[in-house]
Amino acid sequence: MITYQEHRLRTLVEGGRWPELLAAYRRARAAAVAQVGEERAAAETAPLGHLIAYSAPPELAVRLFGPDGGPGTAAGVADHDAGPLWEVLATRHSWLRLAPLLGPAPVRRLVAHTRVLVGEDLSYGAEPDPEGVPLVLEPWESAGWGENSRVRDYLPRGGSRSAVLSLPATREGLGPVLLPAPAGRLRGQRATRALAALAEWAEVVCVRGPAPEAAARLTAARRVTGGYLPFAIACPALLQAGAADRTRGSADGRLALWRALGAMAGGDGPDRAGVNALVARMRCFTWCDPADGLRHLHLAMEDPATGLSWAVSGSDEP
């Protein structure tokens, strides 16, 4: 049964009456914040926010995130339906259109990195990233993806499509491997914490030794199907691990990955030169697990310059 309110909103959408829709969104969000709190209010009003972010002219859509509507009316970085509302907006318009309109710094930054992920070079057209993450894709960031798969593909009325990126995705190129005895776990590494923040559903370890010795810490089997692969092939799965939850977008995954790589390279932040040097020398090992679900990640990364290896393993399915 279609309620009167749903019919009215549908009429406003079909008529392109975006100012009225924005006003309705703001009223609903502020009322819900007062009644049930910020988190539930964001969830209740996100479907209408999705419609506005997807289809409204950018001059109006950016006002979803503006404070001019009063307390409780502005969407934040965690407001989401099929994905974050800021990511929906960022997939619809170029940085040239959005840059003069976007105000809130956290949203502005995430939108900029989303535009980078869809292929824009903002290295000369936007303010520098506060952590130093480059505003253009490095070759190793773009090499392992299918066409148009770096960001969710959003649908006009809600919902999205996204690539299911797991590592290893297939057994092609892999073979039987006898893992060595696991090396001793090193604790207190900043890079370990950064990798754990990237893939919150995975276990992360650091060892002093080659990549297979790190992998052996996270699998009970000594004989596995595995093999080495370039980091560029592993990069998409790592980024998607950081964006697996609908409250996070691909830009969150990219920023988290750069933080982790920066820590692995020994820097205080994601230094571009240091990260690129690390990626160029790193040796990556992946393996299969018989219990793997649809989304899984098994990767060990070895830095020959330091003799350290990190392994990340798990599945985001129960």
Q: Three-state DSSP class for 275? A: helix
Residue recorded with tokens 């960031």: 141
Structure tokens belonging to residue 44: 């209740």
Q: Are 270 and 219 contained in the same domain? A: yes
Mean pLDDT for each consecutive 10-residue tract of the chain (318 residues)? 56 82 94 92 92 95 94 93 95 96 92 96 91 96 82 90 83 92 92 92 95 95 95 93 86 96 92 96 94 86 97 83
CB 75 within 8 A of CB 42: yes
The domain that holds 198 is classified in CATH as 3.40.1000
Query: Can you say how many angstroms the Cα of residue 33 is from the centroid of all Cα atoms in its chain?
Result: 27
One domain for residues 235 and 276: yes
Domain shared by 95 and 210, yes or no: no
The pLDDT, as a whole number, for residue 4 is: 46
Residues 31 and 118 in one domain: yes
**Which residues span the domain enclosing 66?**
4-161
190 in the same domain as 87: no
Query: How far is it between the farthest Cα atoms of the chain?
Result: 66
- Residue 72 CA to residue 67 CA, distance in Å, equals 9
- DSSP conformational letter for 182: P
Given this model, what pLDDT does residue 164 score? 72
198: how many CB neighbours lie within 10 A of its CB? 25
Residue 69: inside a domain, yes or no?
yes
Of 161, 184, 202, the one marking the end of a domain is: 161
> If you compute the radius of gyration of the chain from its CA atoms, what whole number of angstroms results?
22
Choose one of 104, 131, 161: the last residue of a domain. Answer: 161
The whole-angstrom separation of Cα 214 and Cα 308 is: 9
> Of 75, 128, 126, nearest to 96 (Cα)?
126
Please state, in angstroms and rounded to a whole number, the distance separating the CA atoms of residues 4 and 135.
46
Tell which phi-psi region holds residue 227, choosing left (phi > 0), alpha (psi between -120 and 50) or beta: left
Kindly state whether residues 191 and 151 are assigned to the same domain: no
262 and 256 Cβ atoms separated by less than 8 Å: no
Q: Report residue 89: phi and psi, to 5°.
A: -60, -45
Compute the C-alpha angle 166/170/173, nearest 5°.
125
Q: Are residues 146 and 180 in the same domain?
A: no
Residue 140 sits in the same domain as residue 212: no
DSSP summary character for residue 128: P
pTM more than 0.85: yes
